[in-house]
Structure 1
Amino acid sequence: MSTTRQPPPGDLGPEPDEAGPAPATPGARVRTLVLSGASGVVPLARDFTRQALHDWGWLPAPTADRRAAAEDVLLVVSELVTNACLHAEGPERLRVAYGTKALRLEVTDRGAGQPAPRTPHRAGRPGGHGMFIVQRLCLDWGVVRAPGATGKTVWAELAAPA
């Protein structure tokens, strides 16, 4: 896991649409949701991601393994968006991209901080578990900063179900 390297190249689709959600066309593999200025962004992001998973055939899940994979995606979305709310002036955009081997989540915010799992992780304490959960559930995750711009994009990739 690297928190500063650029995202790996892959087949996860084009750049996000700045104007708002991507159209729900058959076969679409990238969805973007503008969160800037919205209220209730965590459930909004979860519902948006759940709909994408449904459209892409992850849900309803026919097996326990596939159901667990979808639940992991929804948990990671919740953690990334919550972290942007708590530590980065709120999220601006959520991007969900589905490739043949992985599903990629990206949350863009205006914050200057650097997300990292708390070390040492203390399971018995409330709070502070978000990036630890992301690290444990994801294949990889990291942060991308645009040169000369404020904010960042925190991305995470989860394995696509077989």
Structure 2
Amino acid sequence: MHLKASRYTVFPKQKLEYDFEIVELVEIKAIDVSIKLVSINLKITAIYRSPESCSHKFNDLSFNCIENYKTTDYHVIAGDININLLETDEYIEDYKNISSSFAYESYINRVTRPVTKKCLDHFYVKKKGISPSTNLSAFIVQQDITDHYTTILSLPVIEPLKSQAERTKRYMNYNI
């Protein structure tokens, strides 16, 4: 199963318990996925912001949206945000400051658009209550299949081992 809104698709594993909502805010489209795990609740928000939309208005909306997630421990914001993280305009710095003020860390900070040499595709992650040693990895697949590189975020979500009663044990006797 996959969930799709505009240009972003989220592929949750079938066995995970999740809810999703497709959100449209004026010029922004998003999928908001909540995944319920034993030890944590994970929220993934995939966003598409048109390059024609107002960046300052987007920052205001971002602040209000992120404010709604301040009690969420593990939150990933992923998307084609159309804000170039490699530049230092005022609205770009505001965007970065809004994210960092709510404890989000940027995981993609290199060129994602090879022709224009811009970083418009983002992964911001807040992992409150998650061990700092939890190894999140972001990848940029540098194949120019489209006008931008593919970005991947690997989230190692570790669930507790199954109880003894639920485990399957196999014994192989190779001495026969």
* TM-score (ref. length: structure 1): 0.36
Q: As a proportion of its length, which structure holds more helix?
A: 1
> Which structure carries more relative contact order (alpha carbon 8 Å, separation 6+)?
1
Tell me which structure has the larger Cα radius of gyration.
2
